């Protein structure tokens, strides 16, 4: 029985947050409840409250963990010499951030729900503003730019509707039915589905669309610079 009674690793804020990320990664964000989080750590739900004020703080912390992961990755990206190509560097940072988020698909939604200005996010933004300033942006334009990018700065863009899993191409029969009420939409989807039949992420490749939108904004900013 003493073999069973091996001293458990004590809880800590850090362990709690890491376990929370693990649960969200493995079972989705809706599986992240205080009770399940405690279970994952071999403790009771009430024990968590000694290390964390409440669930909101868990969610804040979870976002902080993810953004820290992003900061580590983009920290390895070089800064261009002053005046050199800010756009390339910014693009690289943003696409790298996106790669991290693709490993935590539940994260964008949680990030958006936070109202606290987390240190890790501030740090991420600092680097982007520094890049733009180095590239000749006025403070005013850099400020506009951050708003124009919005969540794209962190590597994700809000689609109109959350797709619960990969989007499947519309069936010909569906397009036919659509054509009556929504001729332009049906025509567009038919053509796009046809032109791009085997793209990796479904009938419209999110990565391609993300980069299209990103470049549209970055190019526009470059013109205003």
Q: Which residues bind its own copies (CB under 8 A)?
A: 109, 111-117, 121-123, 125-126, 129-130, 133, 139-140, 142-144, 146-148, 150-151, 153-154, 157-164, 178, 181-185, 187-189, 191-192, 195, 204, 209, 212-213, 216-217, 219-221, 224
Indicate the residue among 73 and 134 with the shorter CB distance to its own copies: 134
User: Using CB under 7 A, which of 47, 68, 123, 207 touches DNA?
Assistant: 47
Which of 112, 8, 15, 100 shows the shortest CA–CA distance to 60?
112
**Residue 117 touches which member of DNA, its own copies, none, C-beta under 5-8 Å by kind:** its own copies
Indicate the residue among 38 and 186 with the shorter CB distance to its own copies: 186
Q: How many CB atoms lie within 10 A of CB 178?
A: 16
**SS3 sequence, 14-49?**
HHHHHHHHHHHHHHCHHHCCHHHHHHHCCCCHHHHC
- Tokens representing 222 are 């470059």
Handedness of CA 109, 113, 119, 125 (dihedral sign): positive
CB of 147 to its own copies, least distance (A): 4
In whole angstroms, give the CA distance from residue 76 to residue 39.
36
Task: Kindly write out the interface string for residues 56-85 of this chain, putting x where it contacts DNA by CB under 7 A and - elsewhere.
Answer: x-----------------------------
Indicate the residue among 10 and 78 with the shorter CB distance to its own copies: 78
| Cross-strand partners of 202 | 167
Q: Rule CB under 7 A: is residue 14 a binding residue for DNA? A: no
CB of 11 to its own copies, least distance (A): 28
CB of 158 to DNA, least distance (A): 24
Which of 206, 209, 204 shows the shortest CA–CA distance to 169?
204
Please give the helix or strand (H or E) that residue 177 lies within, else none: helix 172-181
CB of 59 to its own copies, least distance (A): 12
């Amino acid at each position: 029985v003493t073999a069973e009674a091996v001293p458990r690793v004590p809880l800590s804020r850090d362990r709690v947050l890491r376990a929370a990320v693990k649960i969200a990664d493995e079972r989705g964000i809706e599986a992240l409840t205080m009770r399940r989080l405690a279970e994952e750590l071999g403790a009771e739900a009430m024990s968590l409250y000694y290390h964390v004020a409440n669930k909101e703080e868990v969610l804040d912390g979870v976002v902080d963990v993810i953004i820290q992961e992003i900061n580590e990755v983009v920290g390895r990206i070089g800064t261009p010499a002053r005046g050199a190509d800010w756009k390339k560097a910014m693009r690289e940072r943003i696409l790298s951030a996106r790669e991290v988020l693709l490993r935590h698909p539940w994260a964008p939604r949680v990030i958006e729900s936070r109202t606290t200005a987390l240190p890790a996010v501030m740090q991420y933004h600092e680097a982007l503003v520094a890049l733009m300033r180095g590239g000749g942006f006025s403070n005013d334009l850099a400020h506009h730019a951050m708003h124009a990018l919005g969540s794209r700065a962190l590597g994700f863009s809000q689609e109109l509707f959350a797709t619960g899993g990969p989007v499947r191409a519309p069936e010909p029969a569906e397009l036919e039915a659509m054509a009556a009420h929504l001729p332009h939409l049906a025509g567009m989807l038919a053509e796009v589905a046809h032109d791009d039949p085997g793209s990796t992420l479904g009938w419209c490749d999110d990565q391609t669309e993300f980069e299209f939108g990103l470049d549209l904004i970055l190019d526009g900013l470059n013109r205003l610079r």
